[in-house]
Structure 1
Amino acid sequence: MKNPKTLLRVSMIGTMLVALCCFTPILVVLLAAVGLAALTSYLDYVLLPALAFFIVLTCYAVWRKKKHDACCASPSTKE
């Protein structure tokens, strides 16, 4: 992604969504409603690495945005 704001937005949404699914029983209820309640024992194997990935992606996006803002900042005074 060329725009650091887009990467930051995507990573923040992903982090919030995975964190919501990790710390609340949303997926357990949804899987039970669909009839896939047997898969709930495997959620930790998927959600925790996904949460770690999105947290690292968010940190990278923040770092990249700061780097982009520092190099492309326009001077505020014109002479």
Structure 2
Amino acid sequence: MKNPKTLLRVGVIGTVLVALCCFTPILVILLGTVGLAALTGYLDYVLFPALAAFIGLTGYALYRKRKLDASSTNESPKE
């Protein structure tokens, strides 16, 4: 992904979705209705690393965006 805006968008959406699944019982209810309630014990092994990865991705995207904005403002106008 070359565009920092796209990277930032993916990071923020992923962070929100994983945080929503971590802090609310959405996945527990969903897995219970589908018949996969036995998997709820393993959600922590997947959701917390995914949350950390998406937060890291968001931080990296913000870093790249800031670096790109700084480099574009430091360029001298061409005559």
Residue identity (%): 73
Alignment-derived partner of residue 34 in structure 2: 34
Alignment of 1:32-71 (within 5 A): 32-71=32-71
Alignment-derived partner of residue 15 in structure 2: 15
Secondary structure, in 3 states, of the residue corresponding to 2:73?
Answer: coil
Deviation track 1:18-75 (CA, whole Å, cap 9, x = no partner) reads 0000000000000001000000000000000000000111100000000011112377
Secondary structure, in 3 states, of the residue corresponding to 1:53?
Answer: helix
Q: Which amino acid aligns with 1:7?
A: L
Alignment-derived partner of residue 2 in structure 1: 2
Q: Give runs of ≥4 in structure 1 deviating > 3 Å.
A: none
Cα root mean square deviation, aligned: 1.7
